[in-house]
Amino acid sequence: QVQLVESGGGLVQPGGSLRLSCVASGSIFSIYTMGWYRQAPGKQRELVAAVASGSSTNYADTVKGRFTISRDNAKNTVYLQMNSLKPEDTAVYYCNARIGSLIPAHQYWGQGTQVTVSS
């Protein structure tokens, strides 16, 4: 049994910052790529940022230069530092990870955390 639990969402004013965290727990053998997706009302879920096990990263064009993804392998945790937030960043943010456990490597999702950017 593997679980991803996110935290750190909330309400912030435009230009503000938030830091999201996601912890993976359970019978984990290896964690490969970890990432963050978001889904705004009426829109499809989209990739925000991802970090590979070797720490290479990629970002959506809309967040480059404002968001930073990082991971702490010792803690099975991935972070998303979000700066200069805009109203269009408002969405439910989901953690995603490809994890090898008692079953072959599988994609897991967190339950989501709401981020609202509004004055």
Q: Report the SS3 class of residue 7.
A: strand
Sheet with 18-26: strands ordered across: 2-7, 18-26, 77-82, 67-72
- Name the DSSP class of 84: S
Tokens of 1: 């049994």
pLDDT of residue 20: 98
pLDDT of residue 93: 98
**Regions of the chain with pLDDT less than 70:** none
pLDDT of residue 55: 86
